[in-house]
Chain A
Amino acid sequence: MAILFEYLFNGAVLGIMYALVAVGFTLFFGVLDIIKFSHGDVLTLGAFSGLVSFLALQSLGLDLPVVGLVVVLAAACIVTGAVGALIGQAFIIPMRNASGFNILLMTLMIGTGIREAIRLFYPNGANPKAFPALLPKTPIEIGGVFFRLDSIVLLGLGFGVILLTNWLIRHTKLGLAIRAVAQDGDTAQAMGIPFKTIVLATFALGSALAGIAGVMHGIYYSEINFSVGLLLGVIGFSAAVVGGLGSIWGAIIGGFTFAALQTLWVVVFPDASGYRDVFAFTAIIIAMTIWPTGIIAERYSERV
């Protein structure tokens, strides 16, 4: 019974990371009807920026517990936010009247470029890198169940970021503009909303969420590598599609659904845990044939 709770808890930590990635996909699709496949590799870039900023802190002797985490998260968010907006500005906006397939292919190539650049230019980039333990891994016992302290903080951080994003979209002027652009871009412009600025802000926001997910992933597994974003990107994209592309809550539900499927497999077949992704993706394929428009279909949901 205790072990079951541990599985559930670890599943929730994974779920919140997937949800953060999926929300980015959903935001990009919301404002511009595009799939940005470079998203996963932007996440990798975030994790590596976090690592570099930590090494810099370390060399300065400033790698204090809380400061380290804050600086690493800030570095990841700034780099991913800037790169996400830059990809939008330089590639996606100029191409926005092109076919969706062209943008999909283009962003896939941009992602490959980022991934290969990390592999080739980061010192010894082809090998996994140890990620600093920014949070203590102290086991904490609650009612006979052991939880790692870092996982508890990661879960809280993930939920905090998701709630903050939701608040931003629902209750701020920027959020109002993002929703207006998502619902009707032309009319939003005719009402005085600067379309391009809002689209780029959305790219920065969604990409920064991936940066946070990248750091969380690094802390959780204690290592990162140049292709960490590849699988996380595909999982995040699947989660967004399963939840219903365009809906934020759908993306969150999708992220947790994927983690729940993986966890279910590991609970039932603990000796074959390597097959958890095979099982989860198979289940997603079956779910898509039953609900082709996702769990929260766009017509029922509030877009973005």
Chain B
Amino acid sequence: MTGNLETKNISAAYGNAQVLNGVSIVARPGAITCILGANGAGKTSLIRAIIGLLPTIDGSVELDGTPLSSLRPHARVAHGVGCVPEGRKLFPKMTVEENLRVGAYLMQDKQLIQKRLTKVYETFPRLAERKQQFAGTMSGGEQAMVSIGRALMSEPRILLIDEPSLGLSPALVRDSFAIIRDINKSGISILLVEQNVRQTLAIADYGYVISQGKVVARGTSEELLNDEEMKRAYFGIQ
């Protein structure tokens, strides 16, 4: 099974502000691994460092043993890293179908692209009805579907998902988490970044807790639910 993503001791900074401080995590093949932490803990920075948008000053990122650190973001996508960015980040003035086609940019085979499109439309029938609508005019829930669909177009081995619950109603959050579990069951490893602890741990196999750019706790979902360090990172209990 493929989709084994490892970061080894990565550090990164915005100017003088160090946002990641030697973070080592493993997202196992076929599993859902979650990164938990409060606002500003460095979760999104970690995702940006893995995809290559945030330059690392130390450490390495590997996917199935292939080092990614020296590659530009698009080359990392070519190696099988898919991304559902924080806030969904659709191209607002493109149609739903164009957004999905951007996700398949690296694919040359037109028939294969069509096959992937059909599959995304089967997964999200709502998008098939709205393929010519501008993505910027859609509801939050629909945008979430487009963002996930777009990332699936490149047939990733590992999917990085950054705060899928952001700005969604509780019902839609439940739907999103169910979709994430289904994607994982289809054989794609997932690295899920969330603030929403209980729902995330309910679907995740393994998790890390980040605080101030460092991993402060790790373990299976059950272990983390009862972890003192995690409670401290989240609620500031000393």
Cα(A302)–Cα(B135), bound, Å: 12
Partner of A192, one of B53, B85, B93, B154: B154
B197 sits at the interface (CB 8 A): no
Contact A190 B85 (CB under 8 A): yes
How many chain B residues touch A (CB < 8 A): the figure is: 24
Secondary structure at the A interface, as helix, strand, loop or mixed, is helix
A-B contact count (CB 8 A): 70
A36 sits at the interface (CB 8 A): no
**With a CB–CB cut-off of 8 A, which chain A residues contact B94?**
176, 179-180, 183
Cα(A302)–Cα(B53), bound, Å: 25
A303 sits at the interface (CB 8 A): yes
Cα(A302)–Cα(B72), bound, Å: 28
Closest chain-B Cβ to A168's Cβ sits at a distance in Å of 15
A271 sits at the interface (CB 8 A): no
Interface residues on A, range: 20 to 34
Partner of B150, one of A184, A189, A191: A191
Partner of A186, one of B53, B93, B101, B150: B53
For residue A303, which residue of chain B has the nearest CB?
A: B93
Closest chain-B Cβ to A300's Cβ sits at a distance in Å of 10
Contact A193 B74 (CB under 8 A): yes
B230 sits at the interface (CB 8 A): no
Q: A179-B93, A189-B73 are in contact. List 6 more A-B contacts (CB 8 A).
A: A173-B105, A179-B98, A189-B52, A192-B74, A193-B102, A195-B72
A-B contact pairs, 26 of them (CB 8 A): A173-B105, A176-B94, A176-B98, A177-B102, A180-B94, A180-B105, A183-B91, A183-B92, A187-B89, A187-B91, A189-B52, A190-B51, A190-B53, A190-B77, A191-B83, A191-B103, A191-B150, A191-B154, A192-B74, A192-B78, A192-B103, A192-B105, A192-B154, A194-B72, A194-B74, A303-B93
